[in-house]
Chain A
């Protein structure tokens, strides 16, 4: 489909959001990924989330590394600035961008090769620092663009399309994110838009490092029997612990679920999430318990999905650095240059 120019017309009665925008206003260029690619479903979920939150597209900066997943920012939010940077280095570029202008929404898109192999270090340090961002890993356990090599998230014992068995143990990025201090951690499945869209919305509204690991099967190289990242395998082994029914902004909300089944999670910036618990044992505010729960289920071959951890009073890098409220890129000579009188004093102190 990539040779087709994307048509601009749309149905006159397409639903509009608060800004008067339709879905089409949140789309980007036509995807050049393979037909049926899980990544395109994630793209659709991001578009849906931004539409539903009535985000102004140009207030979003989309930053990625290199790989199939990193191409996707070209396929959504066409009116946003995008930056397809260097393999494995999205987190540092995004950190810098975030420091320059704290007022934009930062969407970091990466893959398992990009973030678990070459970029594991940068991923880890962005989580540690609490950069206010949504960090989405489109995780297919395989290098797609270079045709099917294992990535570091491929499970030990899983088979490649060529029949090779992976002997290295897998990196669980959710576990690492939890350990390193991410204040919002979720896992979802590209094939489950109903679960993924509210998670993306919640992550956007979260202030701090929000990490989402999205299992996203590679239809070309990792969707066969023996793979643990195929559509069939993930569907069979998915253990959803909760479900975000809806996301709200700062307006009061009313819930008509039976008491005890829905937990209202208030975030630091005043937003609230309504969380429907599917597993009564699971506590989204207990980092250690979450790590334990996930590891335990992983050992039984189950993939835990849902909102796995959220820190209610999270802080971010700007808070740690005590930066001014105004974006740093909006400051000029007046705010930044101490002037000649101050320099004269400095000179005098150096004699």
Chain B
């Protein structure tokens, strides 16, 4: 029986990388959104520019589920290389749209799916002679075919094309024509719509559709970053590029066309973080964007910034490691390497945004925190958030907000004779005062170094002075606990002994999984951790429950290790739920894994059975 569903299904496009499919697929996703139906698209792409398989998955969900679902209801199979796997991946009762120009043997199909053949190549060849046009318009033609098959509002697609080619009438006409070639062919030659249909709804609201990397870069613009140093690495490059784009629009002095920003594409990640540290030392707000291998390269410098107490903001768009790993696949796998980055005893502040909107917020807050705490702050994103368009609440900025530049002693205070010790804890919060270079002719200068020093920044290898400083750094980290974004707790409707801790891009899948679990009578309280060091509420949440599931997208349960280590928790009480194949975690995966554990826990102990 073919699947029947309105506004709730998954379409997956299988394409060849570099064939120009990305913009056509995005056009499809945006058109659904314009019909008022939430979508969650995901790019599944190879580390390659041309030739290898790539997929674009669009989850359509009027209920607003934005996590990956898993499974495919309609496969748009445009890549012969992956045909067998793509056909096998369709849900029973699902649909297959393919290019029927060349006849395919029956053995290449399945009996339990609906096969829709549209002669895309034939239509193209009839219409176009230029090979590049044939290639590009083929993509638009299948979008046109889909518009008829799914009963879409073709007007919305046309409007989007018009917006895209504003002022380029010829291109608009050509694309519109191609769209109708596909649409008309389906309308004339086959039954439509199919069992999967789109219906205008009002479920999008005022939400926006943005990639996390772009939102993070906007956060840096709003947060006052003026210096950006970076080295290209997937999946973070588009963050620095977005910062460049945003700055060119928002940060150029209107009067003299000069830039209120400096962006350097450095020679490597070491230079990137070095530039960030130099700029921050000198009082500018600076950041870099990188991924796991970059974090590894930055280790020595991160230790210097921790020990010499220099602010720095690092956006880590995580990907699957170790080593080159799967550079175009997502993971939450740098938690430990960032939390304890560098040699010696170090601890760093981490922020875990859940979606682009929070990435914008944290992207701006990170600069306040780095200045306040005089230490590196990591914004821990991942490929799933960074490189996919995600539907999220609008970005928000309060115009009364002031940048918190932290404890900076100015010339006036120095002149007035205020005691300045660069590493002197005057307020008891572990945070000393600093001065910017060039502040005062004779007061407030100091020598910054990675070697041990006393409270007045004088070189020393005395054990007590070293230990005193290391203790103060711990006090500072304690202070950070109340400054970083707090965890968000949501309790189940019924009291429960079980809890779940999750973070970052797992959010949408987790929300959906909770609904699935509750539907089967399993209740869990949940805590979304948003930062490290952990607020005291993390420990109390764990104390209030018998067992806690910790959901992560890595193999080694890194957040769980961090909780065990930093909160002194018995590891037995933290049950790891781990997803690390490089695809985004799904609600189905979480619900099944937790469900199985809960079922196991429900088995009556043998002792009770016997007695």
Chain A residues packing against B (C-beta within 8 Å): 56-59, 61, 63, 73-74, 78-86, 89, 91-101, 103-104, 121-122, 124-125, 129, 317-318, 321-325, 328-329, 331-333, 335-340, 342-344, 346-347, 350-351
Contacts and interface: CB of A to CB of B under 8 A. Distances in A.
B144 to A, nearest CB: 23
Interface in B253-267: 253, 256-264, 266-267
Contacts of A98: 278
Contact of B399 (A89, A335, A340): A340
A336 B405 CA distance: 14
A79 B420 CA distance: 14
A324 B284 CA distance: 14
Contact of A100 (B250, B272, B283): B283
B278 A339 contact: no
Interface in B429-455: 435-442, 445-451
Contacts of B256: 324
Given A97-B282, A104-B437, A125-B271, 18 more contacts: A61-B437, A73-B447, A79-B442, A81-B435, A82-B445, A92-B275, A93-B275, A96-B279, A99-B278, A100-B286, A125-B267, A325-B258, A328-B227, A328-B260, A328-B261, A338-B222, A338-B251, A342-B250
Q: Which of A59, A80, A97, A344 has the most CB of B within 10 A?
A: A97
B221 interface: yes
Nearest to A101: B282
B279 A97 contact: yes
A58 B448 contact: no
Contacts of B315: none
B345 interface: no
Given A99-B264, A328-B261, A85 B450 contact: yes
Nearest to A85: B304
B280 interface: yes
B46 interface: no
A135 B313 CA distance: 27
A86 B266 contact: no
B437 A99 contact: no
14 contacts: A81-B438, A84-B451, A92-B271, A92-B272, A95-B275, A97-B437, A99-B284, A101-B436, A125-B271, A318-B262, A337-B222, A337-B397, A347-B206, A351-B204
Given A101-B437, A101-B438, A329 B259 contact: no
A89 B264 contact: no
Nearest to B251: A336
B65 interface: no
A310 B241 CA distance: 35
A339 B260 CA distance: 15
B450 A86 contact: yes
A323 B262 contact: yes
Given A57-B441, A86-B304, A95-B275, A335 B260 contact: yes
Contact of A80 (B279, B401, B403, B437): B437
A321 B253 CA distance: 13
Given A79-B442, A93-B278, A351-B209, A323 B258 contact: yes
Interface of B: 204, 206-210, 218, 221-222, 224, 226-227, 229, 250-251, 253, 256-264, 266-268, 270-284, 286, 300-301, 304, 394-399, 401-403, 435-442, 445-451, 459
A95 B264 contact: yes
A337 B224 contact: yes
Nearest to B284: A100
B226 A100 contact: yes
A92 B270 contact: yes
Contacts of B301: 86, 89
A148 to B, nearest CB: 22
B446 to A, nearest CB: 7
Contact of B397 (A92, A122, A340, A351): A340
Contacts of B283: 100-101, 329
Given A89-B270, A92-B270, A338-B221, A322 B258 contact: yes
Nearest to A350: B208
Contacts of A324: 253, 256, 258-260
Nearest to B211: A350
Contact of A96 (B263, B282, B459): B282
Contacts of B459: 74
Contacts of B251: 336, 338
A93 B226 contact: no
Given A61-B282, A61-B437, A85-B274, A99 B262 contact: yes
B504 to A, nearest CB: 22
A95 B256 CA distance: 24
B438 A104 contact: yes
B605 to A, nearest CB: 54
Dominant secondary structure at the B interface: loop
A101 B459 CA distance: 27
Contacts of A329: 226, 279, 282-284, 436
B121 to A, nearest CB: 35
Lowest 8 A-B CB distances belong to which pairs? A96-B278, A92-B274, A100-B284, A81-B437, A329-B283, A96-B279, A100-B282, A96-B275
A84 B270 contact: no
A86 B226 contact: no
A234 B544 CA distance: 76
Contacts of A97: 278-279, 281-282, 437
B130 to A, nearest CB: 32
Contact of A56 (B264, B277, B402, B441): B441
A92 B278 contact: yes
Q: Which of A80, A85, A342 has the most CB of B within 10 A?
A: A85
Given A84-B449, A85-B450, A99 B275 contact: yes
A86 B264 CA distance: 20
Given A97-B281, A322-B259, A336-B224, A92 B396 contact: no
Given A74-B447, A321-B262, A336-B251, A343 B396 contact: yes
Contacts of A317: 262, 264
B447 A96 contact: no
B413 to A, nearest CB: 15
B287 to A, nearest CB: 11
Contact of A347 (B208, B398, B446): B208
A287 B275 CA distance: 29
Contact of A58 (B250, B258, B440, B449): B440
Nearest to A329: B283
A317 B284 CA distance: 17
B442 A58 contact: yes
A2 B261 CA distance: 44
A338 B261 CA distance: 13
Contacts of B394: 344, 347
Q: Which of B277, B278, B436 has the most CB of A within 10 A?
A: B278
B282 A350 contact: no
A333 B224 contact: yes
Given A99-B284, A335-B260, A79 B441 contact: yes
A343 B445 contact: no
Contact of A328 (B226, B268, B273): B226
Contacts of A63: 278
Q: Which of B218, B257, B267, B275 has the most CB of A within 10 A?
A: B275
Nearest to A21: B441
A104 B442 CA distance: 16
A69 B199 CA distance: 72
B260 A122 contact: no
Contacts of B304: 85-86
Nearest to A121: B267
A317 B436 CA distance: 22
A19 to B, nearest CB: 9
A346 B184 CA distance: 36
